[in-house]
Chains A and B, each alone.
Chain A
Amino acid sequence: MITAGIDMGSRSIKIVLLEDIQVEGAPQIKYDMKKPYLMMPGDLDLDQAAEIAFDNACKEAGVSRERVNKVVSTGAGRRQVGFAADSVTEMTAGAKGAVYVFPNAKTVVDVGAEEGRGIKADASGKATDFAGNEKCAAGAGSFAEAMSRALQLTLKEFGEASLRSDKTIPMNAQCTVFAESEVVSLIHANTPKEDIAKAVLDAVASRVCAMVRRVGIERDVVLIGGMVHSVGFVSSLKQAMDVEELLLPEYPEYVAALGCALLAAETH
């Protein structure tokens, strides 16, 4: 059986195709994750973009669309997916995927482009509690992205630069819009890029951490979402949450889509 999970994020569409593998005597069903597929929506309608992304994902995985038994969607645009049999929240999908990748995960931190959230998960991968902020860009990837643009660095370089700094410059502004002016004044004061990058990532981490604290920080802690790719953010978050280890999945931005594909397989 083949199932698919599609995560309609605010910035990109992520698709995971799963095929179950029967292993004689194994207690649990194993899954084979086909090549994960990512697409940035541009000028397209969301439903049209979902169609194109799904077609391309099937093509890349070498599976015809008809062979996919069930599709479950998640993300901000989850209701725009016409071919999905079901849709679940980002919390449900994220917890499911994270616990599948790391079976001992209790706390899942999800930092994407426009939202950051903390999720509490039980052993079966069910989300039991969550705290998030969807009204404000502070504490999400777009904040770091806007600031890296002001420094003329890519998000990846921005994260790497922050690791080279050992300074702690507190950011006063809560709001991304105000923080941008604060960064500009730091630039004009000839503050090294590295220190500014660390100040920004520390600020995002402290806001994310405040949300995660509301559900409680219990080991193991998993970080999912695109911000995993920023090494500086991972380090700042570790420090803010005061944990030695933060589990990072191999494909951090696909974890919610993977969760959807798993839920599709379980409910089919």
Chain B
Amino acid sequence: MSAVIQPNTAPEKKEYWRWAENTWVDETKDWRAAKILTCGIDVGSVSSQAVLVCDGELYGFNNMRTGNNSPDSANNALKGVMDKCGMSLDNIHFVVGTGYGRVNVPFAHKAITEIACHARGANYMGGRGIRTILDMGGQDCKAIHCDEKGKVTNFLMNDKCAAGTGRGMEVIADLLQIPISELGPRSFDVDVEPAAVSSVCVVFAKSEALGLLKSGWTKNKVVAAYCQAMAERVVSLLERIGVEKEFFITGGIGKNAGVVKRIERILKIETAQTKYDSQIAGALGAALFANTLVTKQGASAPIKAAA
């Protein structure tokens, strides 16, 4: 019994890192009228998404936190969006899995790497002109270069270090006790833009942030310094593969203006905008790949319920 550790159940502790999960369905369309219905599932290290595509057009998505096992996360993500539009797995022609847990999506017909999927999804969300993509995920960060079809021509990634990833941002949100969605706006609420936090490592940046607070910095100023550090770090990754003007950011940090605007400031370019959740790019790409596969092979019979 001694080996079993009870999780800390302090009820008062607020989870500042917790970002909003969301589900969206295009109410103007009817999936029942679609000839080809495909689905992409992106089981990431932190978040999981399911995206539905009708005849090559985005129809709906669900974005939620990854649970403690990949198959359940995939099921829950898909169930969230299917429940919203009354669909069942039997209606879907083809499912492509992507992300860290892509081989553990029980009902997927095929697995494709998240790099290929993000490029394809960004090509749809940001427009055909997109050549450079920065995917800032929960536990890694990728700089991707692609052609006009959304095909990957080069990429670089950091998956060894939490600096420059969503997880690093969550740590700072918890430390400063600021809800993660407010970090971006608050980072601009400073009199003078501070220099970036000098530590690379998130563990050291934490101590540095505490030191700055002690020396009288406001929380907002610390957030600004941290956002700047993150921007500088990912820009060095981007510069190694070369940045072209048509630029798009996918992943959770794409929603953090504090980092996005600072990346734009350093690179002196603007990022393409999207009305959808930037976290769905991978799953969207997967669903688009599924659509292409079905179109090429001819619509196979709708799949049976998950084994």
Contacts and interface: CB of A to CB of B under 8 A. Distances in A.
Interface stretch (B28-36, B91-99, B161-169, B241-249): B161-169
| Chain B interface, DSSP helix/strand/loop, else mixed | loop
A177 B5 contact: no
B68 A176 contact: no
B162 A178 contact: yes
B171 A177 contact: yes
Contacts of B171: 177
A193 B5 CA distance: 9
A210 interface: no
Contact of A177 (B2, B4, B203): B203
Contacts of A135: 199-201, 204
Contact of B3 (A137, A146, A188, A193): A193
Interface string A74-89: 0000000000000000
Contacts of A192: 3
Interface string B155-179: 0000011100001100100000000
B5 A136 contact: no
A21 interface: no
A226 to B, nearest CB: 16
B202 interface: yes
Contacts of A177: 162, 167-168, 171, 202-203
B5 A152 contact: yes
Interface in B1-27: 2-5
B230 to A, nearest CB: 13
A187 B2 CA distance: 12
B268 interface: no
Contacts of B204: 114, 135, 137
Contact of A142 (B3, B5, B203): B203
A137 B139 contact: no
B214 interface: yes
B201 A136 contact: yes
A174 interface: yes
A176 B168 CA distance: 11
Contact of A175 (B4, B68, B161): B161
B160 A176 contact: no
Contacts of A175: 160-162, 202
B201 A137 contact: yes
B214 A43 contact: yes
Interface string A138-162: 0000110010000110000000000
B13 to A, nearest CB: 15
A185 interface: yes
A188 B200 contact: no
A178 B139 contact: yes
**Top 5 nearest A-B pairs by Cβ distance?**
A177-B162, A137-B203, A192-B3, A174-B160, A135-B200
Given A114-B204, A178-B139, 11 more contacts: A10-B207, A142-B203, A174-B161, A176-B162, A176-B201, A176-B203, A177-B162, A177-B203, A178-B162, A181-B167, A194-B3
29 contacts: A114-B204, A114-B207, A135-B200, A135-B201, A135-B204, A137-B201, A137-B202, A137-B204, A143-B203, A146-B203, A151-B5, A152-B5, A174-B160, A174-B161, A175-B160, A176-B201, A176-B202, A176-B203, A177-B167, A177-B168, A177-B202, A178-B162, A181-B167, A185-B68, A188-B68, A193-B2, A193-B3, A193-B5, A194-B3
